[in-house]
Amino acid sequence: MKHESGSMRNGSSGARGAGRLGALADEESLPNGNEFYINRELSQLEFFGRVLQQAVDPAIPLLERLRALCTFSSNLDEFYEIRVAGLKEQCALQAPVVGPDGLTPQVVYAAVNQRVRELVDQQYRLFNDVLIPAMAEQQICFLRRPSWNAEQKAWIREFFFAELMPVLTPIGLDPAHPFPRILNKSLNFAVELEGKDAFGRNSGNAIVQAPRALPRVIALPADVSGCEHGFVFLSSILHAHVGELFSGMSVRGCYQFRVTRNSELFVDEEEVKNLREALQGELPHRHLGDAVRLEVADNCTLAMTTFLQQQFGLAPGEVFSVNGPVNLVRLMQVPDQVNRPELKYMPFRPGLPKSLQEQSDVFRAMRDGDILLHHPFQSFAPVVDFVRQAAKDPDVVAISQTVYRAGHDSVLLSALIEAARNGKEVTAVVELLARFDEEANIGWAGQLEAVGAHVVYGVVGFKAHAKMVMVLRREGGKLRRYVHLGTGNYHHETSRTYTDFGLLTCDESLTQDVAQVFSQLTGRGQTQRMTHIWQSPFTLKKQLLAAIRCEAEHARAGRKGRIIAKMNALLEPELIQALYDASREGVRIDLVVRGACALRPGVAGLSEHIAVKSVMGRFLEHARVFYFHDGGAEKVMLSSGEWMERSLSRRIEICFPILDPRLKERVVSEGLKPYLSDRRDSWVMTPGGNYQRQLVHDGEAAQNILLSTLT
């Protein structure tokens, strides 16, 4: 899971954490060329720092802290693969690109590498000095080579010869064996050799690539490890026995390294005739894009580091020396191998809305009234049941669904395939350019086409990111639409860890809007006015601006102006300017922004009525919820997209209202109020763009979003 949220709860660590871990001191404002906007990349890095705080917090279960450490690495990997790779390209082109923040790519690139270096150093100190000792106290041990006893050495040696050596292919470097193509994020070893080989060649250097199929941490039997859960790093095993790969030669040094490459796919959508075929041809090259970062173990010699740096065409500032495994992401498997429930979050069992507890027929329950689902507190099962029942129902004529991120094992798409086999008209709008899910989506597209479903790939130049399912059912001689709309992906696994809202409805006017969106995606025609839905790239931005300005007008007239918005990112300049203008008029604005935020809150004369916080709890805060007081009418909207330029101009997103007053109150009371009152998992943004831990005052009970939402 990407961008997992984290927290550091109140304790001895203080308001800003341990030193500078994840939060800059308030006086150290982020480098910026425009006083009104914060740079996206630098703001994103501060979010990663907050993720890292989860690994610091002793109030979080120990193995969950390890997960957070790994998640930080995963976030950083994708950041380099996409965002930093793009920055580097801009720098190479020397393009005079200046964003709303006023900074050049060169300035941002330098600041990013400096901040990343600080965060990574802190990460490894935390891993080595805090987490490993804490896990050892709990009989979870990572056995290092100097501490291996005779029995452990024997077991590890046997493992090397049985499992590792047969799949290793050492590559000696010489004119006949040039430096190999190193795959993106793979584990490799640079080996310095001495002596002559069987052909009389001087040894020089060699490269050993670790098999990607093997785990990076190996579990030892308890009677061998001497603790309940003993692990040894694959890199340690190879280090200990690398000499076996070079018989008769002397190994002078063996050093881990890992390269991160540009992973953005390039497909000229205007030129290709078949997007799916073009992507299938492009995907194999993702692992071999231009290098953007090199990680080496801190025992690597200067000569070898320089050699590797030159091989990848990187500058010295793009090389990171780390005190430990170069790929901490792969430690994510450890918590799953350790059967210690008390060191993990308590198992969580989602509930069901009352209407579905009393009625298993989803269609009948929807006819009785709209159904609001709040994941993960409420189960994703009703969404699955909705499609499964539609697939089997003889009265269902057609099913349409958007597919963005569904995963390789999707129960929903399996239900769509069953529906097509049962003779339903099935239409799947599959977004092939869903980053890092392209391969899975290509696979589903093929399976759906094989059973006769209609598969379309959206609109060229606009990612189909809206989350919609529409079922057409014949009732009483007429066709009736049933719809599910959501803020999150149709992915049954992430629905257990991401907070999202979903709406099941058969409201005639709202479902008519959804039918129009599907018609735009699958056919041709001009846009038509919709009753309820705000849709990008056509009306969403305009409607948001109008709603913000309406609150400003109310405030200017002496009436109440109020905006509350929860989202994952806030970067769109026009919306930010509109919020500034509304603040000047006296509108009270609360923004809960999990990740990057370009707006500066609390600036006198500009944004003194705006507060921004980032909530980092057990679950990844993913729901997009927008509240406008609207003169007392209280407009409550749910959305699939962020307040970002790409979401508003280059994607197909929907923003839909909650019409039922009872459900509207639920969204506010569950999806907004707990976050505003939270004083346990919140980080408050300062005018300088930094974040301070929001402390719980003496005698004041800490809010817990999970508990407050459930009660």
Nearest to 648 by CA among 576, 705, 558: 576
CA dist 478 → 204, 466, 483 (Å): 79, 27, 16
Closest CA to 224 of 133, 159, 164, 163: 159
Residue 3 is assigned to a ligand binding site: no
CA distances from 667 to 236, 341, 484 (A): 51, 32, 16
| Encoded tokens for 530 | 């919709």
- Residue whose structure tokens are 């989506």: 441
Q: Which of 394, 568, 392 is nearest to 465 (CA)?
A: 568
Rounded to whole angstroms, the Cα distance separating 490 from 485 reads 10
Q: Is 498 annotated as a binding residue?
A: yes
Tell me if 255 is assigned to a ligand binding site: no
DSSP tag of 166: G
Residue whose entry in the numeric block shows the structure tokens 């999970």: 706
| Residues 255 and 301 sit within 8 Å (Cβ to Cβ) | yes
Catalytic site residues?
465
394, two tokens: 């003889």
Whole-angstrom distance, CA of residue 252 vs CA of residue 195: 10
Interatomic CA distance for residues 506 and 364, integer angstroms: 10
**How buried is residue 428: exposed, middle or buried, by Cβ count under 10 Å (0-12/13-18/19+)?**
buried
Q: Does 490 belong to an annotated binding site?
A: no
Integer-rounded Cα Rg, in Å, for the chain is 27
- Tell me the C-alpha distance between 648 and 652, whole Å: 8
Strand partners, 421: none
How far apart CA 79 and CA 85 sit, in angstroms, is 8
Please give the angle made by the CA atoms of 672, 678 and 679, to the nearest 5 degrees: 160
The residue type found at 162 is: A
Q: Does the annotation list 441 as a binding residue?
A: no
680 neighbors 703 (Cβ within 8 angstroms): yes
Give dist(CA 383, CA 371) in Å, integer.
11
Which tokens sit at 51?
């993720």
Instruction: Report which residue type is found at 120.
Output: V
Tokens of 44: 């994103």
Looking at the DSSP assignment, which residues form a beta bridge with residue 692? Answer: 684
CA dihedral of 542, 547, 548, 549, whole degrees rounded to 10: 80
Task: Name the residue type at position 707.
Answer: L
User: Is 666 marked as binding a ligand?
Assistant: no
How big is the chain, counted in residues?
Answer: 711
| φ/ψ bin of 44: left (φ > 0), alpha (ψ from -120 to 50), beta (otherwise) | alpha
The SS3 of residue 239 is helix
Residue positions forming the annotated binding site for ATP: 75, 498, 594, 622
Residue positions forming the annotated binding site for Mg(2+): 405, 435
Residue positions forming the annotated binding site: 75, 405, 435, 498, 594, 622
